[in-house]
Amino acid sequence: MVPNLIPETPLMSMTTLRNPRRIFLSSCASKGERKGSAVHIKERARTEGRGGEESESKQSIKMPTMTPKMMAGMMPMPIPMTMVEMWTTVGSTIASVMFFGAIIRQYCPYEVRRFFDKYTNYLTRFFNPYIRITINEFTGSRLKRSEAYAAVEAYLSVNSSKNSKRLKAEMGKDNKKMVLTMDENEKVTDEFRGVKVWWASSKTSSSSSRSMSLYPEPEKRFYRLTFHKRYRDMITEDYLEHVVTKAKQVKAKNRQRKLYTNSSPNYRYSSHGQSMWSHITFEHPATFGTLAMEPAIKQEIMEDLLTFREGKDYYASIGKAWKRGYLLYGPPGTGKSTMIAAMANLLNYHVYDLELTAVKDNSELKKLLIETTSKSIIVMEDIDCSLDLTGQRKKKEEKPSEDEKEKVKKEISRREPKEESGSKVTLSGLLNFIDGLWSSSGGERLIVFTTNHVEKLDPALIRRGRMDKHIELSYCSFEGFKVLAKNYLRIEAHPMFDSIEQLMKETKITPADIAENLMPKSPREDAEKCLSKLIRALEEAKEKAAKERADEETEDTEPAKRDALSED
Ligand X SMILES: Nc1ncnc2c1ncn2[C@@H]1O[C@H](COP(=O)(O)OP(=O)(O)OP(=O)(O)O)[C@@H](O)[C@H]1O
Beta bridge pairs of residue 445: 323, 376
Residue 133 binds: one of ligand X, Mg ion, none (C-beta under 5 to 8 A by kind): none
Query: Of 336 and 366, which has the nearer Cβ to Mg ion?
Result: 336
Query: Of 23 and 473, which has the nearer Cβ to Mg ion?
Result: 473
| # binding residues, ligand X (CB under 6 A) | 15
Residue 291 binds: one of Mg ion, ligand X, none (C-beta under 5 to 8 A by kind): ligand X
Stretch 465-484: interaction string toward ligand X, x if CB under 6 A: --------x-----------
Q: Which residues of 330-351 are buried (b: 16+ CB within 10 A; e: fewer)?
A: beebbbbbbbbbbbbbbbebbb
Residue 366 binds: one of Mg ion, ligand X, none (C-beta under 5 to 8 A by kind): none
Beta strands at 220-228 and 195-204: parallel, antiparallel or unpaired? antiparallel
Q: What DSSP string runs through 210-262?
A: HTT-SSPPPPEEEEEEEEEGGGHHIIIIIIHHHHHHHHHHHHHHH---EEEES
Interface stretch with ligand X, choices 220-228, 344-352, 510-518, 536-544 (CB under 6 A): 510-518
Binding flag, residue 338, ligand X (CB under 6 A): yes
Burial class (CB within 10 angstroms; exposed 0-12, middle 13-18, buried 19+) of 91: exposed
> Please, are residues 371 and 329 in contact by the beta-carbon 8 Å criterion?
no
Q: Report the C-alpha gap between 504 and 484 in whole angstroms.
A: 14
Binding flag, residue 334, ligand X (CB under 6 A): yes
Q: What DSSP string runs through 329-367?
A: E-STTSSHHHHHHHHHHHHT-EEEE--GGG--SHHHHHH
Closest contact distance (angstroms) between CB of 381 and Mg ion is 6
Query: Of 136 and 487, which has the nearer Cβ to ligand X?
Result: 487
Closest contact distance (angstroms) between CB of 212 and ligand X is 51
Helices (H) and strands (E) in the chain, counts: 24, 15
Using CA of residue 521, residue 522, residue 525, residue 527, what is the dihedral sign?
positive
Query: Of 148 and 339, which has the nearer Cβ to Mg ion?
Result: 339
Interface stretch with ligand X, choices 137-145, 161-169, 508-516, 551-559 (CB under 6 A): 508-516
> Please, are residues 468 and 325 in contact by the beta-carbon 8 Å criterion?
yes
Q: Report the C-alpha gap between 64 and 203 in whole angstroms.
A: 70
Single out the residue of 3, 429, 442, 511 in contact with ligand X (rule: CB under 6 A).
Answer: 511
Single out the residue of 181, 262, 337, 372 in contact with Mg ion (rule: CB under 5 A).
Answer: 337
Residue whose C-beta lies closest to ligand X: 335
Beta bridge pairs of residue 257: none
Residues 514-553 within binding reach of ligand X (CB under 6 A): 515
Residues 122-181 within binding reach of ligand X (CB under 6 A): none
Single out the residue of 135, 197, 243, 291 in contact with ligand X (rule: CB under 6 A).
Answer: 291
Residue 305 binds: one of Mg ion, ligand X, none (C-beta under 5 to 8 A by kind): none
Query: Of 156 and 354, which has the nearer Cβ to ligand X?
Result: 354
Single out the residue of 163, 202, 452, 507 in contact with ligand X (rule: CB under 6 A).
Answer: 452
Q: Report the C-alpha gap between 350 and 284 in whole angstroms.
A: 12
Query: Of 337 and 510, which has the nearer Cβ to Mg ion?
Result: 337
Binding flag, residue 510, Mg ion (CB under 5 A): no
Residue 426, amino acid: T
Binding flag, residue 454, ligand X (CB under 6 A): no
Residue 292 binds: one of Mg ion, ligand X, none (C-beta under 5 to 8 A by kind): ligand X
> Please, are residues 23 and 16 in contact by the beta-carbon 8 Å criterion?
yes
Q: Report the C-alpha gap between 25 and 47 in whole angstroms.
A: 13
Binding flag, residue 327, ligand X (CB under 6 A): no
* Region of residue 179 (left: phi > 0; alpha: psi -120 to 50; beta: else): beta
Query: Of 336 and 466, which has the nearer Cβ to Mg ion?
Result: 336
Burial class (CB within 10 angstroms; exposed 0-12, middle 13-18, buried 19+) of 440: middle
Single out the residue of 325, 333, 429, 442 in contact with ligand X (rule: CB under 6 A).
Answer: 333
Query: Of 429 and 511, which has the nearer Cβ to ligand X?
Result: 511
Binding site for ligand X (CB under 6 A): 291-293, 332-338, 452, 473, 511-512, 515
Contact residues for Mg ion, defined by CB under 5 A: 336-337
